[in-house]
Amino acid sequence: MIKLPKLVVIAAIAAGSFAYTAPASANDQLAVSICEYIAADDKNRLRSKLKSSRVKVRNIYDAVFCNGNNLLRHAVASNAVDTGEYIVKNLSKSSLEDGADIAWAEANHAGSPLIPIIKDRAGL
């Protein structure tokens, strides 16, 4: 008679261990939301998410990647002009002066309307 409850407990533990999934961290969820809002060219939701998370674009620019691209390149690749312009305006000029993002955009998305905006901000 003791074996039945012991078997039930073991089965419950085993079933519970398979059903558990670790929750995504808040930073991962924030990054996913940012990438989604950029891809959708939803500047208002992007601004709102950044503000509610107390995060600035220039502070996360080098840390968040969307499909292997930084935020600006993701905007160019997604043809997200409004969010791309918002990102450019919130970056320091020095972060754009090296021209790497401009060269990448010209090589991969030559007709992007964001290229002149990036060049203007970078002073090139």
Q: What is the pLDDT of residue 6?
A: 59
With H, G, I as helix, E, B as strand and everything else as coil, classify residue 56. coil
CATH code, residues 24-122:
1.25.40
CA–CA distance, 96 with 9 (Å, rounded to integer): 60
pLDDT at position 94, please?
87
DSSP character string of 69-117:
B-HHHHHHHTT-HHHHHHHHHTS-HHHHTT-HHHHHHHHH-TT-THHHH
Provide CB contacts within 8 A for 47, sequence distance 6+: 86
pLDDT of 31: 86
Ordered per-residue pLDDT tens for the chain, 124 residues: 455 565 555 555 555 444 434 445 667 888 889 999 999 999 999 999 999 999 999 988 888 899 899 999 999 999 999 999 999 999 988 888 888 889 999 998 888 899 999 999 888 7
pTM assigned to the model? 0.74
